[in-house]
Amino acid sequence: LLNPHFSKLESAKKKMPENSGDSFRIKKIEFDGKLRPILCQNEAGPCPLLAICNVLLLRGNLTLHMDFSEIKEVELLQQLATYLLEKSEGRSESDSGVNIEYQLHDVMEILPTLQKGLDVNVKFTHPQGFEFTEQLSLFDVATINLYHGWVVDEADGNLPKTLASLSYNQLVEKLVQYKTFLQDDSKPKANEAEKSEKFNGESRSEISRNEAAIELFLTETATQLTYRGLEMLHRDVPEGSLCVFFRNNHFSTMYRKDHSLYLLITDLGYVNQSSAVWEKLDVIDGDTEIVDSSFESRKVTGGDSGFGESVQDADHLLALQLQQGDNIAIDPTFTHSTYGDSLSDRYGTIEGDDASFARAIYEQEKEMARKSRQSETQQALNRQIQRTNSRSLCAVQ
């Protein structure tokens, strides 16, 4: 019998943009003592796909071969779909009564449109306050927490509790209603009796105050991050956890380490910058601190010229790759690598003895590339050891 999960995957694949030319550059960083690939983006914008996949890559749930320099969008979506389907196998309804099969069906429908963004409606009472939508079920299925920092500080008292409990969409809708009422009520009337004194149980004076309070709140928190929100994020995000942070219609991978919060830098301009890996989240506006994979602040140089990474940094990353071994899984859907395309891409459709011969040549090229890469990595490791020994000798002297 056909596996129902397989049929869901095939259905999702058919809806994915096969002809899309979009791709993501891959950057290698050190994370938790291991070499991990992360995805970079060309343009700033709403990209939950990147944030979710980077969480899974850093966790080790998704894998990319370390020879890859980029991956096509459709291939990334297919690998994500495969992972979510495999993860859901064997899971039954949770204690809360959530139907995993129903959620999975929704997620498979969402994946083909994921690169366009997600419809997210925040609530101002808590960093995990979001209006539930089918799209947000993706985070549940992937077991990734979603946070924001646009939280009302009730101690200020600027925004009444009745308004603070609303979602963003509801608050904006309320503001429009208030403005419409006040504008209509200010127009000349045939007599004073036609003027409305109340709207939905609120007096004209209450409406005027609430309108001003909403406009002030939205203006003062235009960065969509408040000090109260920042405080609650540091309180609620568990130490050592990877999650997704939503702000200004943008999704970022967030990590909690040593009681500090960091956002993964995915801008393409830093793809060759080993000194720019994380951005510290400790202020609501202004300059933030950029750190490397060791979470140490270093001067960022080189920009997007491609020459920002030092020889020592490159050697260290290659040494990590050697220590981890060359056994990182290769997903069969991928076709990009430094040693060439897939067999079908390179030779077309081949059958019979010609196919066997082409396969042998292809495997031979891959093996030569692997040995070359291993040799380069060993040389890098040797240089790393020599530098370590030199520093130790200097320290003794």
250 is catalytic: yes
Q: Which of 40, 47, 53, 243 is catalytic?
A: 47
336 is catalytic: no
Q: Which of 65, 105, 250, 316 is catalytic?
A: 250
Closest of 130, 68, 22 to residue 334, by C-alpha: 68
Give catalytic residues, as residue numbers.
47, 250
